[in-house]
Amino acid sequence: MSKISKEIAVFIVFLALVILVGLFVDASSDNMKTPVDTKIPVDTKVPVDAKTPFQEKQVAGFFIEFEEGTTEPEVKAILENYNMTINTIDYNSDIMPSRYYMILDRDKTIDIEELVDDINLTSPVRKGSNYILTVTEQAIQDKNFLAILEKNNLPVKKSVYCYIGLEDESKSGGIPEKDAYQIANELERNEKVLTASPDTKVYHLLIEFEDGTTEPEVKAILEKYNMTMNTIEYNSDLQPERYYLTVDADKRMDVRDELRKDENWTDPIYFNHDIKKGNSYIITVTEQAIQDENFLEILEKNNLQVKNSVLCCITLGDGSKKWIWESDERRIENEVKKNEKILTIISSGST
């Protein structure tokens, strides 16, 4: 037998063995199958509890910021073009303070570099072919800043805030959240609208108290306000500790200039977010700064003292309802932040 014939014979024998093994395995698996009684119907549908249907996240309304000079009739006319059932329109609402802003042509932003000094302006936000820059309240009281505006023929405007309450019989929200964000995006395409955002649920408040505020003091302060609370987490570690200085308003810029001597003395996150409290400002400094002898000399020269804030996390709601609407949270925030013991208050867990 030739070599090729031998290889063919070996291949045929191997193929036959594979077929026999396959037949044996198939017969064994048939014997192991569990018989099914065809008389008993099998329900392949996933059971659904009709008593607890899926509840999609809802929103209660919209916060809409309009351009300066937009009248209430114009607001109503604009809103008629969008798919929502409106219950109330709070025109020029005090839920959110109106902001000062400038509108700049895209090709002119380079010409105003002298304006952008991290104190007077925020980063520009694109709006069509223009940019919108928020102007701080401090800036509009600064003669040097106003002189630059006049030289560049740049007017400062003031926006009009409106709160739009949607029809909501169940108190759980007027329209689905996904639809609300789509409407908000459509609203912002309107040339009269600066910003638009839905009124969603807020679960927590992070409130920062002055150095040395005790837990009994925190509870006593919060009881003064119409706030439904489930729990208070005193001295929370949800955020890093804040070290700060309390500086008289008329000395703020002088102290700021001295702090610029070392970039490690101030936290860039808080650089242009000094907190105004009465006639003073709260300036945040780093932990590294308070260990630097040069920094400590500046404090001694200006008769300043480093303090450490106390952070508390407030779980909102009452009983099983552990949330409130953002519109209610903002009203509470506007009142609470007036307290001299409170440095900052921000919402957390909005969804």
Question: Does residue 53 have a pLDDT over 50?
Answer: no
What share of the chain has pLDDT > 70, as a percent? 75
CA separation for the pair 244, 96 (Å, rounded) = 26
**Residue 63 — very low, low, confident or very high, per pLDDT cuts 50/70/90?**
very high
Give the 3-state secondary structure of residue 16: helix
Question: Does residue 193 have a pLDDT over 50?
Answer: yes
Q: Tokens at residue 288, please?
A: 């590294």
User: Is the domain of 208 the same as that of 344?
Assistant: yes
Helix (H) or strand (E) holding 150: helix 143-151
Does a structural domain hold residue 244? yes
User: Is the domain of 286 the same as that of 324?
Assistant: yes
Q: Tokens at residue 90, please?
A: 């709070």
Q: Of the spans 148-157, 209-218, 318-327, which averages the highest pLDDT?
A: 209-218
**Residue 31 — very low, low, confident or very high, per pLDDT cuts 50/70/90?**
very low
Domain boundary among 145, 170, 200: 200
User: Is the domain of 231 the same as that of 162?
Assistant: no
Domain boundary among 182, 200, 218: 200
CB 63 within 8 A of CB 197: yes
CA separation for the pair 284, 273 (Å, rounded) = 9
User: Is the domain of 189 the same as that of 266?
Assistant: no
Does a structural domain hold residue 31? no
CA separation for the pair 152, 146 (Å, rounded) = 10
DSSP 277-327: ETTEEEEEE-TTGGG-HHHHHHHHHTT---EE-EEEEEEESBTTB--EEHH
pTM of the model: 0.72
User: Is the domain of 191 the same as that of 74?
Assistant: yes
Least confident range from 121-130, 242-251, 253-262: namely: 121-130
Question: Does residue 15 have a pLDDT over 70?
Answer: no
Does a structural domain hold residue 282? yes
User: Is the domain of 166 the same as that of 210?
Assistant: no
Question: Does residue 233 have a pLDDT over 80?
Answer: yes
Does a structural domain hold residue 10? no
| Helix-then-strand count for the chain, H and E | 8, 20
Give the 3-state secondary structure of residue 2: coil
Average pLDDT, the chain: 79
User: Is the domain of 321 the same as that of 279?
Assistant: yes
User: Is the domain of 137 the same as that of 228?
Assistant: no
CA dihedral 297, 298, 299, 303 (to 10 degrees): 100
DSSP 79-129: HTTSS--EEEEETT-SSS---EEEEEEGGGGGGGTTT-SSSSB---EEETT
Does a structural domain hold residue 38? no
170-193: average pLDDT: 88
**Residue 119 — very low, low, confident or very high, per pLDDT cuts 50/70/90?**
low
264-289 confidence digits (pLDDT tens): 898 765 555 788 888 898 999 999 99
Q: Residue 199's closest CA among 227, 177, 219, 169? A: 177
User: Is the domain of 190 the same as that of 217?
Assistant: no
**Residue 107 — very low, low, confident or very high, per pLDDT cuts 50/70/90?**
low
User: Is the domain of 234 the same as that of 287?
Assistant: yes
pLDDT at 109: 57
207-215: average pLDDT: 96
Please give the residue range of the domain that contains residue 140. Answer: 58-200
User: Is the domain of 187 the same as that of 229?
Assistant: no
Tally of domains within the chain: 2
